[in-house]
Structure 1
């Protein structure tokens, strides 16, 4: 019995030590921290090394907080700022905090200034939607990304800081059942979307 307990404890120590190393250090010598990996609609995805590595806070010229370099949150906020000229009313918080569990499907998430949809929604996810993942045993902060492609059977996301050996693009099955759309991944909480009226107004403001 004691030997089994010791083996289990050693196994847990090895797992958590490996997880800590992956988060803290750059274990992929093929890339340098801050190196361009990918882009979508002109917005760049940068390599971050370890998951918890931080290169300082990224802010716009007018002081708007984009987030910590080069975390997943920094990419999605930078994407919405550069592509939509959108500033989130609450520009702080972890990835999982982007999703408000108290909202109904399609309601306005006032903290982010975006419409929120649950991962079983009457409305199909769209390209440019911001997608939110819950936390898990090895990532208590959750994860966020941008939907880069949508078909009737699948979505593709583009992401920053998924891990030193993960890719910037990832795909998940999409299912339409009982008049609702669901992305088949248990960690996906839902997605956020810019309102069409806001997009029009931001276009007018940028022209003026």
Structure 2
């Protein structure tokens, strides 16, 4: 009995130490100010949000288009599409997870976003500028949405806002090609959305 208790205490201690060092590795290297510029893609800036659930008001365009809650992940991707592509989504609201319509098959038009939707895996390789939608988790029911900033034969780089550690607004995922399908190697990724003109539609 005492032996089992001892083993349980050792396992608990190791778990606590692992969590402690993981949290320290995720901690920012310095203090950031809310609204501080962290990175940019095509001159569209990624801002620091101050915390995953923080909201600093709503960002709207001069003509009244809802860009999103500052400085959430949705606000960045919609601001990028509005400023870089002059694109307005027919449905200007919703959380990140709402961007992906699970009823659609690979390559169909997502009418609410006026973007072509691809599933993960897909017949279509991700392209720079695509939106990648990530599923909800136990600690984040709203999902996450990012922009593809670079693509190689075996990797996809993304840029994101409100991802956690502000030291790292970019991340890289492995990209696999198997039996005619492209798959981004991350279990949370539902798929990606693309401007219609990119496919010549």
Q: Distance in 2 between matches of 1:199 and 1:80?
A: 18
Report the 3-state secondary structure (helix = DSSP H, G, I; strand = E; otherwise coil) of the residue aligned with 1:97: helix
Q: Distance in 1 between matches of 2:78 and 2:139?
A: 23
Q: Which residue of 2 aligns with 1:88?
A: 89
Q: Which residue of 1 aligns with 2:120?
A: 119
1:95-140 CA distance string (max 9 Å, x none): 0010000001000000000000001110100000011000001111
Q: Which residue of 2 aligns with 1:49?
A: 50
TM-score between both structures, scaled by the size of structure 1:
0.81
Of the structure 1 ranges 164-173 and 35-44, higher mean CA displacement relative to structure 2 is found in: 164-173
Q: Which residue of 1 aligns with 2:135?
A: 134
Instruction: Say what the alpha-carbon RMSD is for the aligned residues.
Output: 2.5
Does residue 174 (structure 1) correspond to residue 175 (structure 2)? The answer is yes
Q: Which residue of 2 aligns with 1:206?
A: none
| Structure 1 residue runs without a partner (length 5+) | 201-208
Over 3 Å counting, the alpha-carbon distance change for 1:82 and 1:198 in structure 2 is farther
Matched residue pairs, number?
181
Over 3 Å counting, the alpha-carbon distance change for 1:197 and 1:161 in structure 2 is closer
Q: CA deviation at 1:172?
A: 0.2
Q: Is 2:28–2:167's contact at 8 Å kept on the other side of the alignment?
A: no
Q: Distance in 2 between matches of 1:48 and 1:29?
A: 14
Q: Distance in 2 between matches of 1:165 and 1:152?
A: 28
Q: 1:89-108 residue pairs with structure 2 within 5 A?
A: 89-108=90-109
| Structure 2 residue runs without a partner (length 5+) | none
1:37-58 CA distance string (max 9 Å, x none): 0000110000001100000000
Does residue 62 (structure 1) correspond to residue 53 (structure 2)? The answer is no
Report the 3-state secondary structure (helix = DSSP H, G, I; strand = E; otherwise coil) of the residue aligned with 2:78: helix
